[in-house]
Every structure is written in C-alpha cells, then in structure tokens.
Amino acid sequence: MIERLEPLYGAVEAGGTKFVCMIGTGPADMREQTRIATTSPAETLLETVSFLRAAESRFGKLAAVGIASFGPLDLRPDSPTYGFITSTPKAGWANVDIAGAVRNALGVKVGVDTDVNAAALGEWRWGAAQGLDTFIYLTIGTGIGGGGMVNGRLMHGLVHPEMGHVRIPHDLEADPFAGTCPFHGDCLEGLASGPAMKARWLQSAEQLPADHPGWQLEARYLALALVNFICTVSPERIVMGGGVMSSGQIFPLIRQHVSDLLRNYVRAPQLLHAIDDYIVPPWLGDRAGVLGALALAQQRDL
C-alpha cells in the first residue's frame, strides 16, 4: 500500500511581540509549533530559520513557507523590495526583507502577506468564509486591521487595505474622547481599538462590565465602519476577530447598529433577514494567524 503524502508546509506568524512558527498540513495536523520573542531581525529570523530547518531534517523538505507579517509590507510582485517590511516604527524592523531571509536560508518558495489577509485566507480555506468570493476580515485588538478577498483573490491594490484608518462620524458631544491614533486622532482605530477603549474608560475591554455603556459606543463605531465597508466592497460576509471581540457579547449590538444605519437600503436577504450569519466571529480563533500563514504557503505552492 502506498501512503498518500500531503505536502508539508511551514508557517510563520510574524508579530510585533512574538513570531509563531509552525509546520503542518492544516488545522488537523499542526505537527510542530514554537514561539519566538520578536527582538532584532537578525536574531528573530535566525531562530525562525533554525526551527524550520530542524523540522525539515526530521520530516523532510517543506513544499513552501507562508509568512503572515505585521506591516506595512511591500506586496507588489514586480517591486525590488517585494516581501519587505517597509516603514514600520518598530525599531530595527524597517526595510527588512523578511520573505527573502526565509527563502534564501531554506531555498524554498515563500508566500507573504499581511497578518489580516493571511487570517482572511485561513478563514476562507478552513473557517467562516468558505465558499465566498468577496468578504472582509477585521481584527479589533491592539490596532484595527482589515483585509479579505474581492473576486476570489486577497485584497492588495496600491499597497494593501488599512481599514483601521477610515474616518467615521464622531459625535464629540456624546464622546469627547479625542482618539489615540498618532496619525489621525479619531479615525476608527483611534476611537475603537483596545487601547482607545482603555484610554477612554480606564478599563480594558476585558475588564469592562457587559452592561457598561462603552459597549454600545464601541458597537456603534464598529457598525459605522462596517456600513462603509458594505457600501464600498459589498462583501458577502464580514468576519470579526481580535481581543475586543473575544467575549462575543458585542456581536448582537453591532448587528443591530448596522441594521439601523443601513435602513434597509441595501436589499440583500443576507442583510435584511440573516444578519446573524452575515457578521460573524472567526472559526479558527487564536490559530487564525499561523493557519493563515500555512494557507499562504499552500497558495504559493499551487
């Protein structure tokens, strides 16, 4: 009997505080995993490559490696700095060729994308966005990031989406908080990220009681952004993850605000009659990032 060999992939979730590295074939086979503190690029990337090399020596050659990275990233395939982290304020990490470092050390194909686009791809492959051509994935945590697919492919365009920085109506009388975004003040991220909630209420989202008015305000801001994404991209579904969403109690509030704001203008049954299935949590939970990186590797290997 001949065993059918599924290709083995490497996955790197490159975050600002840690790198999560994994090898495997999918959610049911996350064969080996490690966490590496994000220090200097030289040190962190060396440890990353060592983990992947050690895995190769035990399990055989990796078919490809996917990297889901913090950004901003250069994702223009024809650019000389394709796969580089570009202008990050994170010390030492600006202009780092994160994709090239792995590619050159291992001699392997590397797929790279933003952490949110990777998570979106993971949800599309194994989670809440299966079977969709056009959807949005948002993460509401330390920052607010967004990505997703349009016409069956991940969103890139000129750079990549920066959905956290959209401007939304801000009633300064009801909420005099000026916002925390160092660039834009009261953009979406400045008003509704985890740090914004904490700065406004002096309690983190995790600590804020379920009946605190801060949740209604948070739901209202997120709904204003969602309505704009709906009117712009016309997604078939919106998947919302991240620390601020993790208790789940905010979902019904968001759905109600979105319905109130749209006023039945967009006449799709998903919005009019099935909004519980339209604005949803991710399925992959805190594995979204690393499984998204694995999905990038698979996609790169096609």
Binding site for a copy of itself (CB under 8 A): 72, 86-87, 133-134, 146, 150-153, 155-170, 183-184, 224, 227-236, 261, 263-268, 270-271
CB contact at 8 A, 98 and 14: yes
The per-type count for the chain, helices as H runs and strands as E runs, is 9, 10
Q: How far is CA 163 from the centre of its chain?
A: 11
Residue found under tokens 């490559």? 49
Residue found under tokens 């505080």? 17
45/223 with CB nearer a copy of itself: 223
Helix (H, G, I), strand (E, B) or coil at 132: coil
**How far is the C-alpha of 5 from the C-alpha of 232, rounded, in Å?**
43
Minimal distance in Å, beta carbon 45 to a copy of itself?
23
Minimal distance in Å, beta carbon 26 to a copy of itself?
25
38/228 with CB nearer a copy of itself: 228
125/257 with CB nearer a copy of itself: 257
234/247 with CB nearer a copy of itself: 234
Minimal distance in Å, beta carbon 156 to a copy of itself?
7
Entry field: residues in the chain: 302
**How far is the C-alpha of 125 from the C-alpha of 11, rounded, in Å?**
15
4/263 with CB nearer a copy of itself: 263
Minimal distance in Å, beta carbon 221 to a copy of itself?
11
108/271 with CB nearer a copy of itself: 271
Neighbouring-strand partners of residue 149 = 135, 154
Minimal distance in Å, beta carbon 105 to a copy of itself?
28
| CA neighbor of 65 nearest in space, from 3, 4, 94, 22 | 22
CB contact at 8 A, 197 and 208: yes
103/257 with CB nearer a copy of itself: 257
Minimal distance in Å, beta carbon 91 to a copy of itself?
18
Minimal distance in Å, beta carbon 254 to a copy of itself?
15
- The separation between the first and the last C-alpha atoms of the chain, rounded to the nearest angstrom, is 27
Helical packing angle, 213-233 and 194-201, nearest 10°: 150
Minimal distance in Å, beta carbon 274 to a copy of itself?
11
29/133 with CB nearer a copy of itself: 133
The H or E element spanning position 222 is helix 213-233
Q: What is the DSSP string of 23-38?
A: EEEETTEEEEEEEEE-
